[in-house]
Amino acid sequence: MTKVGFVGLGNVGLPAAVNLLKAGFEVHGYDVRVNKAFATAGGTVAATLADIASCPVIVQSLPSPAALTIVR
């Protein structure tokens, strides 16, 4: 199973991350807001961006380039 880090679990990111879960990937997701739907779907919620840094694949689904500068 390939481990995937996913940054941004909003309107576009959440369905994409859930599709990766359904395809058999181990998905670790991070968002600035807690997203219970992601955990309910079987994803692993990362508390920080550093928690997904070791994933061999990282996907970003962010609303704007400015969102890249927000780290919480």
pLDDT tens readout for residues 63-72: 887 777 765 5
For the chain, what percent of residues have pLDDT higher than 90?
Answer: 75
Domain boundaries, the chain: 3-69
Q: In the chain, which residues have pLDDT < 70?
A: 1, 70-72
Q: Of 11, 14, 12, 19, which Cα lies nearest the Cα of 30?
A: 14
CATH class for the region spanning 3-69: alpha beta
CA angle, 59 as apex, 35 and 52 as ends, to 5°?
Answer: 70
pTM value surpassing 0.75: yes
Q: What per-residue confidence (pLDDT) applies to 46?
A: 95
What gap in Å lies between CA 17 and CA 61, rounded to an integer?
10
